[in-house]
Every structure is written in structure tokens, then in C-alpha cells.
Amino acid sequence: MRSDKVRIVLRYLWAAVLPVIVSGIVRALAIYIFVTPNDFAPGGVNGVAVLLEEGTGWNSGIFLIMLNVPLFFVAFFLLGKYGAVISTLSMLLTSGLLIVFDYIPAMQYLCYQPQSNHILAAIAGGVLLGAALAIMLKSCGTSGGTTVLASLVNKKFRNLSVSGMTAVFDAVVVFASFFVYNRGMGFTDKLEPVLLALVSLFVTSKVCDVILQGFKAAYRFEIVTNHPEEISAEIMQRLHHGVTEINATGMYSHEDRALLVCIIRKRQIGELQRILKQYPETFASFTPASEVYGKFLK
């Protein structure tokens, strides 16, 4: 009995510690290798720290600590103890790694600094930051940082959404980069960090969505037909997926018909459409299913 309890505790600890470690490392690598060397701010608290490093010369990890410690106390009471602790520990790990990286000579050689066309750095940084963000959202439901500030505003003004306010805070950071980078240069040069930040934010959002929704995207078909046996047999034989039949009644004709429901992969849509074309009186619609569970995955 005691050993079972120990295993359960260790499992929960591992589930909490692993996201902290992975997201913290990935975020630190993204900032140190791709973001800071290429002079753009990725938005959020990370972006504020990067801008402060550019303006003062101090390591961005120091500013991440200074920014996240007060946010921790706000998140602790606003977003819940578990989410506040996990997200803050991940940020503190990122901060520590950014400071340590400066004392590792080999890390200097990993910094990606192309002579021109920094768009690849923005994309690569966005991919890593999106992965780190998705890991935190999966583990504790919050990314901390500007999400905490947005939740605080939402607490006072209920008509303002958390996602909308988070986007506003990110936009402020991106806009501020126009004045921080390339000071004294022309308009085009000052605009480049803003565009790179926008690319990074877009890629971060898309990568995060893909990871959260899963790579196993599928489509849910609903088929109204008078030939349920024939269509079901073809789907199971040719597409190797199960079919569920539901009794339905057409409200216009008041005729009893069968409603078939099945989940198939994206690449099988054309094959299923060819099956349905053999039955002209059949009506079908389909919608994307972001992720599915069960025998379908096997």
C-alpha cells in the first residue's frame, strides 16, 4: 500500500517537474540562440526582458527574475497555486540558464547571426517558443507572464477577454521594439525588428496550436442515407474504420433514415467521397476533429 502511494507521488512529481525542465530549457535556447542575437523582441514578458537587455546591456535572465517574482504572487491568488508555481519555476529556470549561458564560451558559437535576412531566426525562435508555451499550457493551463496581467485586467473589467488583453500586451512590446532597436537609423531599419517580432509571434501561436490540438487530425463524417448497410460495409472494408448508425427522421419528408457517423483520416476524404457518389440520394457533411482517442489511433 505504501509503495503504491510512493509511486503515485513520484508520478505526479515527474508530471510536474518534466514540463518545468523542458519548457525552461527550450525557452532559454530560443531566446539566447535566435532572439537576442538578431535584435527583435518576441512579445510578452520574454520580450520585455529582451528589450531591457538591449537598452541596459544586462542579461535578460536578470530582468526575467525581476519581472516574474511579483507576477508569481499575483498568479498565486489569481490563477491557482499549481499553475503559478509551475509556470514561475519554468521562467526561473529560463532566467538561470540565460545567465549561465554567458559564462559558457561554447554557447557563443551556437548563436545564429546571419549577415542579412533574419527571418529564419524569427521563425526558428517562434517554433521553440511555441513548443515551450504549449508544454506549459498542457501541464498547468497557464503560461504565466502577460497572461497573469491580462487575467488581472479581466478581473476588474469583465468585458475585456484574457486572450484579447494578452494580444494587446504583446502588441505593446512589439511596438516598443521600434524605438529600442536601430536607434538613429532610418525608418526601414527601425521597422525590421517589429516585422521580425510579428513573424515570431505568428509562428509561436501556430506551433502552440498544433501541439495542443495534436498531430493526429481527423475528420468526422455524418451521412444521411437509405443505404446504411452498403455504405458501412464499404467504409469498413476500404477505409478500415468503424461506423456508428443512428436512427433519424427527416423533418421535411417525415421519413425514417439512417445517420452514419464515422471518423477518418484527412487523406481518406477523397476515397470516402467516391464511395458516397455511388449513392445519389445520400447526404453527407464533415467537420475537422482536432484530436481523437481510442482504437482509431491504432
pLDDT in tens, 174-211: 888 888 887 666 777 788 889 999 999 899 888 887 88
Torsion of CA 282, 286, 292, 293, to 10 degrees: -20
Q: How many CB atoms lie within 10 A of CB 272?
A: 22
Q: Are residues 291 and 171 in the same domain?
A: no
Provide CB contacts within 8 A for 191, sequence distance 6+: 178
Q: Are residues 124 and 251 in the same domain?
A: no
Q: Is the pLDDT of residue 104 over 60?
A: yes
pLDDT in tens, 237-291: 988 888 999 998 888 888 888 999 998 887 788 889 889 999 988 999 988 876 6
DSSP state at residue 266: G
For the segment 26-39, the average pLDDT, to the nearest whole number, is: 92
pTM, entire model = 0.73
Percent of the chain with pLDDT over 90: 24
Q: Work out how many domains the chain is built from and give that number.
A: 2
For the segment 112-117, the average pLDDT, to the nearest whole number, is: 80
pLDDT given at position 34 = 94
Of the three residues 213, 247, 267, the one that is the final residue of a domain is: 213
Distance of CA 121 to the CA centre of its chain: 19
Q: Are residues 268 and 145 in the same domain?
A: no
| Beta partners for residue 249, in sequence order | 256
- The grid coordinates listed for 50 are 529582451
DSSP state at residue 214: -
On average, the pLDDT of the chain sits at 82
Q: Are residues 41 and 172 in the same domain?
A: yes
Q: How many CB atoms lie within 10 A of CB 18?
A: 12
Q: How many CB atoms lie within 10 A of CB 142?
A: 21
Q: Are residues 224 and 134 in the same domain?
A: no
pLDDT given at position 218 = 80
Q: Are residues 78 and 169 in the same domain?
A: yes
Q: Is the pLDDT of residue 143 over 50?
A: yes
